[in-house]
Amino acid sequence: MSTGQDVPGSQIPALTLCKISKRFGGVLAVSDVSFDVAAGSFTAIIGPNGAGKTTLFNLITNLFLPTEGTVLYFGHSLVGLRGHALASLGLIRTFQAARVFPAMTAIDNVKAGGHLRTEVGLVGQMLWTRAAIEQERELSDKAQELLELTGLTQFSGRLAHDLPIGAQKLVEVARALMARPRVLLLDEPAAGLNDSETSTLTTLLRAICSAGITIVVVEHNMSLVTGADHVIVLDAGRLIAEGAPADIQRNERVIEAYLGSQGVLGAA
């Protein structure tokens, strides 16, 4: 599949949502939503509970099929592609609740993300060939690197179900990075993190963007959201505003929908 990054200087958006709607019976969960996500950007999607944010992620990744509209990935439709096919194209997501492998260690959880990109086949792994041994060593080194990057080195050998919820969320982010994404969708990555961990995560996401990876987050933590390049605001399934974080903070419609009339966005 050809993508926008195949052409030097291409300005094709990483994601394009065009008039996306999703109806569940008589409930319109997402209504006529259109926006672009620039390649290499850090975009945050915010809104009150029930605004349709996670539903939008599910539509992008084909967990749900839109009732109307189109989703494009670097200019190409993703219709009919699921799970592994999307991941092989570099579209990787995490979920609202941490989905770690509980009986595996933190480092093995992270390594699992790298197996999508491995070249040694099943037979080679079963026979533990020289290539398989070298590949496993490379995965371990990369996983350890990512644990250090996310501040999780001390949890490396601990079983995932023994980790604090915040650490489990960061393990999931590290595992997603092991899959070498082009577009990374993170559903509430700061949930369960303290202020220090959230600051570390924000710095990490900025560094990931600097490396050319497009990031889209659904998030309630405003200290992370204000670190984004672009913010998209949903309310009752509709897009009500988008722009730079500073502009969104002053948008009266956003303040009313997202916070009532209690104050500016940055006060959340």
The CATH number covering residue 132 comes to: 3.40.50.300
In this structure, are 83 and 215 located in the same domain? Answer: yes
d(CA 23, CA 263): 33
DSSP line for 226-243: TTSSEEEEEETTEEEEEE
Residues 37 and 158 in one domain: no
Residues 114 and 67 occupy one common structural domain = no
Whether residues 71 and 38 fall in one domain: yes
85 and 153, same domain (yes or no) = no
Task: Choose one of 180, 205, 236: the last residue of a domain.
Answer: 180
Structural domain including 63 reads: 1-90+182-268
Query: pLDDT at position 126, please?
Result: 55
Are 117 and 187 members of one domain?
Answer: no
Residue 6: what pLDDT?
44
Which helix (H) or strand (E) segment is 214 a member of? strand 214-218
226-264 burial, b at 16+ Cβ within 10 Å, e below that, comes to: bbbbbbbbbbebbbbbbeebeebbebeebbebbeeeeee
pLDDT of residue 165: 86
pLDDT for residue 9: 41
Global pTM reads 0.83
80 with 211, same domain: the answer is yes
Give the pLDDT score at 244: 96
262 and 151 share a domain? no
For 15, 177, 205, 214, the CA distances from 210, given in Å and listed in that order, are 18, 14, 9, 9
Token pair, residue 241, equals 């505003």
- Which of 180, 204, 237 is the C-terminal boundary of a domain? 180
Q: How many domains are there within the chain?
A: 2
Say if residue 84 is in the same domain as residue 110: no
If asked whether residues 81 and 18 sit together in one domain, one would say yes
Last residue of a domain, one of 180, 199, 227: 180
> Is residue 224 domain-shared with residue 141, that is, in the same domain?
no
* Weakly modelled stretches of the chain, pLDDT under 70: 1-10, 115-129, 131-132, 258-268
Q: Do 19 and 72 belong to one domain? A: yes
